[in-house]
């Protein structure tokens, strides 16, 4: 009987060690990474948008404040030197200081740009018109006396086309809301007495004791909404040259 040879010993199956280059990512790991990345991206985007909107809001607010303060400085300077022409020339005695007055327009004489008024050799008071247009633009329009004027008879007939050096049209604020002017009579009563939104009569204008100036600026920029900015000032008779 022939002996059967012993079976050959099985070689152990070689196992290949994984190296870093052979590692991969499972689907669940990829989903988790994507979710975390999406959350981080959303947070960064929200923060960026919030900072951008906040910066735009602050810029819009600061622009409104600058416009309102600048307009008030222009108006205070002009109104603070309002004057009746009769105080500078007896020939114009009886001429009113305020020519027209309403909630959106005020026309008056002011002693600005008249440095020689104390010596009687003045060039004459400046006629100032402050007008708020329907487009929200607030303008200060000035007109100095005609070149042929003298201290005995100042006139304001030379148009801008013929005498451009005597005229100035300055935009002092935009996006302004009406009304800008309110008037108070001697004794504290509001003008006009009937409370209507209308221009004052010459008699009412002559009775003005103070002007309440309200500059409300509200930007119409929808991309940077900001609440209105309001600057108030009351200019009384005591600070005027004399009405």
pLDDT in tens, 114-145: 765 454 445 788 999 999 999 999 999 999 98
Show the tokens assigned to 184.
């108070």
| CA–CA distance, 228 with 175 (Å, rounded to integer) | 10
Specify whether the CB–CB gap between 128 and 140 falls below 8 A: yes
Note whether 57 and 226 are within 8 A (CB): yes
Residue-level length of the chain: 243
- Partners of 109 in the β-ladder: 127
What is the reported pLDDT for 80?
87
Determine the Cα–Cα distance for residues 224 and 63; give it in Å rounded to an integer: 11
**Maximum distance among all Cα pairs of the chain, rounded to whole angstroms:** 160
Below-70 pLDDT ranges, the chain: 1-23, 90-91, 93, 115-122, 149-152, 221-226, 237-243
pLDDT of residue 243: 46
DSSP state of 177: E
Q: What is the model's pLDDT at position 6?
A: 58
pLDDT value at residue 120 = 45
Which positions ≥6 away from 95 have C-beta within 8 Å? Answer: 84, 85, 86, 109
Residues 174-211 as b or e (16 or more Cβ within 10 Å = b)? bbbebebbebbbeeeeebbeeeeeeebeeebbebbbbb
């Amino acid at each position: 009987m022939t002996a059967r040879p012993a079976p050959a010993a099985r070689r152990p199956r070689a196992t290949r060690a994984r190296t870093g280059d052979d590692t991969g990512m499972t689907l669940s790991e990829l989903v988790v990474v994507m979710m975390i990345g999406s959350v981080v991206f959303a947070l960064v985007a929200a923060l960026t948008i919030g900072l951008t909107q906040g910066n735009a809001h602050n810029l819009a607010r600061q622009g409104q404040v600058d416009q309102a303060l600048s307009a008030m400085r222009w108006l205070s300077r002009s109104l603070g030197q309002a004057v009746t022409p009769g105080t500078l020339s007896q020939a114009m005695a009886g001429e009113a200081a305020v020519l027209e007055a309403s909630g959106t327009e005020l026309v008056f004489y002011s002693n600005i740009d008249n440095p020689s008024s104390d010596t009687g050799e003045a060039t004459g008071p400046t006629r100032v018109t402050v007008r708020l247009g329907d487009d929200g633009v607030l303008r200060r329009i000035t007109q100095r006396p005609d070149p042929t004027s003298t201290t005995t008879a100042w006139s304001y007939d030379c148009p801008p086309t013929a005498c451009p050096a005597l005229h100035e049209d300055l935009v002092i604020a935009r996006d302004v809301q009406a009304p800008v002017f309110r008037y108070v009579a001697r004794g504290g009563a509001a003008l006009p007495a009937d409370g209507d939104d209308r221009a004052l009569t010459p008699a009412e204008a002559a009775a003005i004791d103070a002007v309440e100036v309200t500059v409300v600026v509200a930007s119409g920029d929808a991309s940077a909404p900001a609440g209105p900015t309001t600057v108030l000032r009351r200019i009384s008779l005591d600070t005027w040259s004399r009405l």
